[in-house]
Amino acid sequence: MNAIVLYEEQHAVLRCTGDEDRASQALRRPAMSRALNAERDLVVDLDGLWFADPSLMVDLAMVARRMRKCGRCMVIRGASEQIHTLIELVGLHRLPCVVVDGPSPAAV
C-alpha cells in the first residue's frame, strides 16, 4: 500500500499522493488535523493521487466544513478525471467554500 498525505504549513497545502482508501485512513488523519490550523484557505493538491475511494472525499468534506466554520475555504487542484468524477459522486464540490478545479490536463 502506498499512502502519502502530507501537510505543508508554510503554503497551507495538503498533498495527497499514491493510493488512498479506507485502509490508509488512519495514516492521513494527522496531516488533515494539522491542516485545520491553516491561517488561510487550504489548497488540496491531488496531482499525484492515483486512486481514492469515497473515504478520502468524506475526510476532505469534514476538513472543509471545519475550515468554513473558521471563515476559510478549500481549493482542490490537480484531480485526475477519475478522481474528479469521485468528487462529484460524493458531492464534495457542492459544499460551501469548496472550489474544485477541473481535471488535470494530463488526465484528459
CATH says 3-102 is which class? Answer: alpha beta
Cα(73)–Cα(63) distance, rounded to whole angstroms?
A: 10
* β 3-8/13-20 pair status: antiparallel
What residue segments make up the domains of the chain, in order of their start? 3-102
Give me the DSSP letters along 43-97.
EEE-TTEEEE-HHHHHHHHHHHHHHHHTT--EEEE---HHHHHHHHHHTGGGSTT
Q: What is the band of 4 on the pLDDT scale with cuts at 50, 70, 90?
A: confident
pLDDT in tens, 73-94: 999 999 999 999 999 999 999 9
The structure's pTM equals 0.90
pLDDT in tens, 5-62: 999 999 999 999 999 999 999 999 999 999 999 999 999 999 999 999 999 999 999 9
